[in-house]
């Protein structure tokens, strides 16, 4: 890639994606002209428009602003989720523009900065968001590119300086192999994205290749099949949470490190998976050199990430939680957190499967994890970048759920069925467009 000093304009194809929009915000912050395309308007695209980003929802070449048609001073960034036949993408490629995937650009703009990278099939967004907050609230000069909207900053891009950068290292399409991490962490390595990797072994090989890129220190959750500084809960890990208690919906615990014992840390996120995420972020920040006292105060003020165990309603009579879980392991972790924080309550799960390939690859595991809830409403599969697969339907998936209190539901009928339920805890689950239904469900429940 050319140096950024030669770039005046940056055009994003898929600008509304969570990872793409963070980089778009970065280029706005450094004074570049930014525009782009996305399929549909969202809260993210609206926020970008408010920043001055020119966005079109039509892929016609005529929609590209005139000043972005100069190949000498325009960089084009695209997401691998965009089809190769996309009209604007084809135009830029055919007319000798500098065109790169998001991961290549993220690696380029962070390669000369001390980089803390968080990878994992689950937990990377929450861990990197906690880490970014710990550093920012501790006074470090940090820039962070996140895969979710931090509740503390209402953004997926955080910046107080450029001495250290936090990046979410995405395994999809082997994107994380474009990064240059100094300190990194791997939170999990469950089989996923088998449409890209083909087999779990290939995914594991990719994580090993990412680990090999780490220059200073690699942190791994205890039990993962690779060498590194270990993170755990009540084990013999290098960094371990001990004396864990629940106080008013929060975990209170001591953190034993190789050098010290840090007492009475507080994490407000439910679930042991989130406790591991918090320990991992804390360990990385300590390794970077931030003082434990400042980090402890910062951890206390972390509010969470939108759509990660996000409370919409929390009263003594009714609880409504929204969560991004889209893999069976994540759904099991979500269930554990719900039962731990709201014991002896009837729980209704509303799930939208994400991708035909993921549904097919993990159908039995989805059936097992969804059977844990007391009641299930199942929406149609959200296709994202995929075409339908014969026989892979929500009706088929529902047949694998052991719980008899289950039904298929359309979005149109969803709210009526939710209101008819006597569940005391309601959870919306999925990575598709189910997030757009959350405010409607909340409004109906509060009516």
Question: Over the stretch 235-255, which tens digit does the pLDDT of each residue have?
Answer: 999 999 999 998 877 899 999
Q: What is the DSSP letter of 430?
A: -
CA distance 6 to 322: 43
- CATH number for the domain spanning 88: value is 3.40.50.720
Please name which of 313, 309, 321, 275 lies closest in space to residue 443, comparing C-alpha atoms: 313
Co-location of 326 and 364 in the same domain: yes
Q: Is residue 278 one of the residues assigned to a domain? A: yes
Which one of 81, 101, 121 terminates a domain? 101
Co-location of 81 and 198 in the same domain: no
Q: Is residue 106 one of the residues assigned to a domain? A: no
CA distance 447 to 445: 6
Please report the pLDDT score of residue 357 as a whole number.
92
Give the count of domains, the chain: 3
Placement of tokens 């395309």 in the chain:
37
Please report the pLDDT score of residue 196 as a whole number.
52
Co-location of 121 and 90 in the same domain: no
Co-location of 397 and 369 in the same domain: yes
Co-location of 91 and 220 in the same domain: no
Co-location of 274 and 352 in the same domain: no
Co-location of 322 and 430 in the same domain: yes
Helix (H) or strand (E) run with residue 281 in it: helix 272-288
The SS3 of residue 285 is helix
Please report the pLDDT score of residue 194 as a whole number.
47
Which one of 76, 101, 126 terminates a domain? 101
- CATH number for the domain spanning 419: value is 3.90.190.20
- CATH number for the domain spanning 211: value is 3.40.1190.10
Co-location of 20 and 85 in the same domain: yes
Report the relative pairing of strands 33-37 and 425-429 from DSSP bridges: unpaired
Q: Is residue 230 one of the residues assigned to a domain? A: yes
Which one of 101, 134, 150 terminates a domain? 101
CA distance 22 to 137: 20
Please report the pLDDT score of residue 270 as a whole number.
85
Q: Give the domain range for residue 400.
A: 310-446
Please name which of 265, 268, 270 lies closest in space to residue 283, comparing C-alpha atoms: 265
Q: Is residue 170 one of the residues assigned to a domain? A: yes
Co-location of 158 and 277 in the same domain: yes
pLDDT digit string (tens) for 251-265?
Answer: 999 999 999 999 999
Co-location of 291 and 315 in the same domain: no
CA distance 277 to 285: 12
Q: Is residue 305 one of the residues assigned to a domain? A: no
Co-location of 117 and 178 in the same domain: yes
Residues in the chain where the model's pLDDT stays below 50: 193-194, 197
Q: What is the DSSP letter of 305?
A: B
> Do residues 210 and 169 make contact, with C-beta atoms less than 8 angstroms apart?
yes
For the purposes of burial, counting CB atoms within 10 Å of the CB of 31, is it exposed (0-12), middle (13-18) or buried (19 or more)? exposed
Please report the pLDDT score of residue 201 as a whole number.
72
Co-location of 146 and 198 in the same domain: yes
pLDDT digit string (tens) for 7-61?
Answer: 999 999 999 999 999 999 999 999 999 999 999 898 899 999 999 999 999 999 9
């Amino acid at each position: 890639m050319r140096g950024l000093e030669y770039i005046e304009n940056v055009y994003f194809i898929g600008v509304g994606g969570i990872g793409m929009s963070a980089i778009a915000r970065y280029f706005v912050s450094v004074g570049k002209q930014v525009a782009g395309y996305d399929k549909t308007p969202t809260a993210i695209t609206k926020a970008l428009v408010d920043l001055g980003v020119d966005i079109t929802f039509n892929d016609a070449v005529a929609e590209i602003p005139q000043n972005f048609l100069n190949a000498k001073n325009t960089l084009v960034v695209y997401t691998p989720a965009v089809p190769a036949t996309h009209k604007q993408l084809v135009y830029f490629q055919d007319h000798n523009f500098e065109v790169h995937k998001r991961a290549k650009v993220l690696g380029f703009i962070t390669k000369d900065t001390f980089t803390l990278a968080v990878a994992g099939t689950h937990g990377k967004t929450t861990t990197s968001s906690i880490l970014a907050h710990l550093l920012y609230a501790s006074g470090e000069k940090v820039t962070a590119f996140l895969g979710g909207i931090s509740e503390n900053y209402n953004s997926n891009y955080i910046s107080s300086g450029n001495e250290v950068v936090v990046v979410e290292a995405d395994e999809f399409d082997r994107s994380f192999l474009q990064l240059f991490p100094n300190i990194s962490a791997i939170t999990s390595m469950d089989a996923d994205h088998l449409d890209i990797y083909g087999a779990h072994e290939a995914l594991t090989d990719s994580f090993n290749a990412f680990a090999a890129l780490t220059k200073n220190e690699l942190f791994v959750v205890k039990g993962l099949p690779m060498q590194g500084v270990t993170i755990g809960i009540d084990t013999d890990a290098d960094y371990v949470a001990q004396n864990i208690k629940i106080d008013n919906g929060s975990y209170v615990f001591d953190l034993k490190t190789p050098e010290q014992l840090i007492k009475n840390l507080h994490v407000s996120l439910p679930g042991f998976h989130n406790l591991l995420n918090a320990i991992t972020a804390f360990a990385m920040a300590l390794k970077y050199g931030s003082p434990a006292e400042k980090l402890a105060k910062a951890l206390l003020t972390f509010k969470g990430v939108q759509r990660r165990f996000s409370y919409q309603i929390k009263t003594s009579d009714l609880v409504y939680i929204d969560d991004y879980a889209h893999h069976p392991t994540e759904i099991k972790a979500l269930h554990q957190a719900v039962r731990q924080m709201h014991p002896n309550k009837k729980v209704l799960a509303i799930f939208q499967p994400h991708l035909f390939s993921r549904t097919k690859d993990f159908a039995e595991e989805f059936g097992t994890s969804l059977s844990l809830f007391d009641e299930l409403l199942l929406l149609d599969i959200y296709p994202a970048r995929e075409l339908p697969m014969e026989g892979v339907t929500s009706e088929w998936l529902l047949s694998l759920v052991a719980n008899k209190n289950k039904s298929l539901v359309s979005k149109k009928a969803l709210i009526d069925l939710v209101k008819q339920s006597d569940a005391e805890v309601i959870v919306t689950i999925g990575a598709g467009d189910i997030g757009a239904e959350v405010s409607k469900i909340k409004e109906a429940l509060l009516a």
